Chain A
Amino acid sequence: QVQLQESGPGLVNPSETLSLTCTVSGGSIGGYYWSWIRQPPGKGLEWIGYIYYSGSTNYSPSLKSRVTISVDTSKNQFSLKLNSVTAADTAVYYCARARQVWDLPEPSYFDYWGQGTLVTVSS
């Protein structure tokens, strides 16, 4: 059973960089896409971006200028960096595995999720 666990600071100062890591256990990070998704308190879900185990990435256009997702296959981990954060970036951040359908090359849905970690942006 694949399990994902987010880790990182729960409090980030405005204008600084939010950094989170997702550790994958129970399976290899190799061969799959991996994604970050966030949910502001009391609101809906927003996709941030995904990375293939080889390192290729795609990001949400609305966050692209501030986001970097990277992967470390030796540690079975992938990471999120979001710079220049504001209070609007306060959210529960989830990592998830992304899967393809119909043999298409790009991912389509998210089948395994971490429990989520709340990151608050405040001084």
Chain B
Amino acid sequence: DIQMTQSPSSLSASVGDRVTITCRASQSIRSFLNWYQQKPGKAPKLLIYAASSLQSGVPSRFSGSGSGTDFTLTISSLQPEDFATYYCQQSYSNPLFTFGPGTKVDIK
């Protein structure tokens, strides 16, 4: 099975900060990597699919990059509504989709 790890597991940041979250796969998953944002008590929301494609309606301050085993989600200027938990998800080993453990972004 492909294992997904994320770092850091949590971070504290201020409004306006540039935030980078890393996701690593235990083997190459090419670009089959997606990112979601989840706020407490809410369903996850798709941000980025296929490693770097921005989902319709998602602000352009969110961007994704990477391929193979290492991926990053970047928030260029953190906004108050961005405080949430972020998950990566691989689909290379379809039909077994796996999610990373999450990165919680909170207010410094």
Contacts and interface: CB of A to CB of B under 8 A. Distances in A.
Q: Do A and B come from one complex?
A: yes
Interface of A: 44-47, 49-50, 58-61, 94, 96, 99, 101-102, 106-111, 113-116
Contacts, number: 65
A50 B91 CA distance: 13
A46 B50 CA distance: 19
Contacts of A116: 42-43
Interface residues of B, number: 24
Contact of B99 (A44, A58, A101): A44
A59 B95 contact: yes
Nearest to A115: B43
A108 B46 contact: no
Nearest to B53: A101
When A and B form their complex, which 6 residue pairs have the shortest distance between CB atoms, in order from nearest? A58-B95, A113-B43, A108-B91, A47-B97, A109-B34, A45-B99
14 contacts: A44-B99, A45-B87, A45-B99, A47-B96, A50-B95, A58-B94, A96-B43, A99-B49, A106-B95, A108-B32, A108-B50, A109-B89, A113-B43, A116-B43
Nearest to B48: A109
B50 A101 contact: yes
Interface in B37-94: 42-46, 49-50, 53, 55, 87, 89, 91, 94
A107 B49 contact: no
Contact of A108 (B34, B45, B98, B99): B34
A37 B96 CA distance: 12
Most A C-beta atoms less than 10 A away, residue of B42, B43, B44, B94: B43
